[in-house]
Structure 1
Amino acid sequence: MKVDLGDLNAFVTVARARGFRDGARASGASASGLSEAVSRLEAQLGVRLLHRTTRSVAPTEAGQRLLERLGPALTEVETALDVVNSFRDRPAGTLRLNVPISAVRLVLPAIVPGFLAAYPDIELEVTAEDTFVDVLAAGCDAGIRYGERLEQDMIAVPIGPRVQRFATAASPAYLDRHGRPDHPRDLLTHACLRGRFSYGPTPLWEFEREGETVHVDPKGPLLISMGTATDLAIDAAIAGTGIIMLFEDWLRPHLDSGALEPVLEPWWLSFPGPFLYYPGHRLVPAPLRAFIDFIKEPME
């Protein structure tokens, strides 16, 4: 059976976007064109691939199976076509990155403008989420994560600050009313603004000083989804609702302005910075190779 590659690509685009309009925005194609391509593919295969309602689109069981196999396969096709990039004066194409929301806020702003200026023929697509995904299955070339969440068969390249810290802070007004903690365990009597990731329980707050490590499980009036709702927690902290723990760089503008005051700064935990990671068992696409070279340049 000979199936049009464009129709397969249209199906993958719509299935990942969970909608024809969102798929059109992601791909630059028209929603009607994607719909026609998927219908044509379903007719040729003789099986429905997508459940369609007025509000959403989701793969059928057959569509999900096809999507799981097609994602990596289409990525390999793109990689094969990318070989011709080596014959160009400068690399071109699309670079797709999957990164945590913290990296969008703290790492990429210092890199992306310069990279795009240096490589005007490369289009950068960034998907921000805090779940750990198979970058190939997700249709991405590479991702950004921290070392403890990297798989062994991945190649990792340092990106962004090499040392970061978690900071705790609160508004001066809150601390004037409730007192300033002297030890991490004092947080158990304070209102704390906590966050959790979608893939696990609410994490403990960790502190370290002169070889002593302390974990506390603070309580408070606000629990947010890390990344997507982080700015809400920051706003609440500035308004005097409680004490927040977050990347120091994320809080730094508010610490410098005085809107927030450092809490337990001698206990702030340091940890290694993030890595750009990509599969080591495939050819590196030219846009990704250019990005790797670009982020390595300042370190050499």
Structure 2
Amino acid sequence: MDADLNDLRLFLAVARAGGFRDAARATGLSASGISEAMRRLEERLGLRLLNRTTRSVVPTEAGHALLARMEPALDEVQAALDAVHDAHSRPSGTLRLNVPLAASRLVLPAIVPRFLEAHPDITLEVTAEDRFVDVLAAGCDAGIRYEESLEQDMVAVPIGPRLQRMALAAAPAYLERHGHPAHPSELLQHACLAGRFAGGPVLQWDFERGGEKLAIKPRGPLIVRIGITADLLVDAALGGSGLVYLFEDWLRPHIDSGALLPVLEDWWPRFSGPYLYYPGRRLVPSPLRAFIDFIRSPG
């Protein structure tokens, strides 16, 4: 079947934007012009690619099948065009990152303002979620994850602090009422504020000291799904409801202010910092290349 490449690009824009108006804003074209291009494409293919309602525009089954084959190919074409740009030209375009919530709070704030200032023609789009995703299938250029979550076919570049710790803390009022645990095993008699990933078990609390390692399954009055509601764990701990176990950098401002007190600090486990990862089998788009160069540069 003969299909115009520009019409295929517009079909991809509509599918990603979820409608003609948003696709028009993204491409700088008119919504009516894009709608006409989609009608033309469907006529040439003899297939309905989009289901249209007054509220939404979504791909049909045939549209999804076309997207699955076409999207990686068009992204590769765009990456190839980016790769042949003059090495001294200013990078531009959109960089899409998929990151865990902890990275969006603890890693990116120290990087993003300086990167955007250095590259004013790049738009950074960040999606924060804690499940591991196929970055290409999610429409992203790269992701940030920790070493144990990386696939072997991914290129990994260190980003952010190279050593981190988990921390355990509680409000002074809670510790005055219930006492200070002297060993991780004593946490089984305390109110623990716990978290879990969607559909998963309650996350264990790991501790290590002098070669001894312990894993505690926390029990207590509050369990939240890891993500944005992790802030509720901190709020509950600040209110004296129990002990909270999170990234040290997440709890550090409250510990430094005295609102929370460190607990079993000599047992806090260390682990390696996160990595920026991206598929090694594809050309690197210029916005991603600029980001990689930026995080690799000293300072």
Q: TM-score range by the shorter chain?
A: 0.7 to 0.9
Alpha-carbon deviation of 1:34? Answer: 9.1
Map of 2:182 onto structure 1: 182
* Structure 1: stretches of 5+ with no match in the other structure: none
**8 Å CA contact 2:99, 2:145 repeated in 1:** yes
**8 Å CA contact 1:130, 1:198 repeated in 2:** no
Map of 1:20 onto structure 2: 19
Name the SS of the counterpart of 1:207 in structure 2: strand
Q: Give the alignment of 1:40-119 within 5 angstroms.
A: 40-50=40-50, 59-119=59-119
Look up the equivalent residue of 1:220 and give its one-letter code. G
Alpha-carbon deviation of 1:60? Answer: 3.7
**8 Å CA contact 1:85, 1:91 repeated in 2:** no
Name the SS of the counterpart of 1:198 in structure 2: coil
Q: Give the alignment of 1:1-300 within 5 angstroms.
A: 1-16=1-16, 19-20=18-19, 24=23, 27=26, 32=31, 36=35, 38=38, 40-50=40-50, 59-198=59-198, 200-298=200-298
CA separation in 2, counterparts of 1:31 and 1:110? 38
Over aligned residue pairs, what C-alpha RMSD do you find? 2.7
Alpha-carbon deviation of 1:225? Answer: 1.6
Look up the equivalent residue of 1:20 and give its one-letter code. G
Alpha-carbon deviation of 1:92? Answer: 2.1
- TM-score, L = length of structure 2: 0.88
Alpha-carbon deviation of 1:13? Answer: 4.5
Name the SS of the counterpart of 1:86 in structure 2: coil
**8 Å CA contact 1:86, 1:286 repeated in 2:** no
CA separation in 1, counterparts of 2:199 and 2:2? 40
CA separation in 2, counterparts of 1:230 and 1:34? 45
Name the SS of the counterpart of 1:227 in structure 2: coil
Identity of aligned residues (%): 64
- TM-score, L = length of structure 1: 0.88
Look up the equivalent residue of 2:162 and give its one-letter code. R
Bigger mean CA offset, 54-63 vs 79-88? 54-63
Q: Quickly say closer, same or farther: Cα 1:60–1:201, change in 2 above 3 A.
A: farther
Name the SS of the counterpart of 2:85 in structure 1: helix
- Structure index of larger Rg: 2
Give the number of aligned pairs.
298
CA separation in 1, counterparts of 2:88 and 2:78? 16
CA separation in 2, counterparts of 1:286 and 1:63? 29
**8 Å CA contact 1:171, 1:240 repeated in 2:** yes
**8 Å CA contact 2:83, 2:284 repeated in 1:** no
**8 Å CA contact 2:24, 2:31 repeated in 1:** no
Name the SS of the counterpart of 1:233 in structure 2: helix
CA separation in 2, counterparts of 1:249 and 1:192? 19
CA separation in 2, counterparts of 1:191 and 1:197? 20
Q: Quickly say closer, same or farther: Cα 1:184–1:51, change in 2 above 3 A.
A: farther
CA separation in 2, counterparts of 1:241 and 1:109? 29
Q: Quickly say closer, same or farther: Cα 1:110–1:28, change in 2 above 3 A.
A: farther
Alpha-carbon deviation of 1:208? Answer: 0.5
Q: Quickly say closer, same or farther: Cα 1:206–1:70, change in 2 above 3 A.
A: same
CA-to-aligned-CA distance 1:116-138 (integer Å, 9 cap, x gap): 11122222221211121122222
Alpha-carbon deviation of 1:74? Answer: 2.3
Q: Quickly say closer, same or farther: Cα 1:30–1:106, change in 2 above 3 A.
A: farther
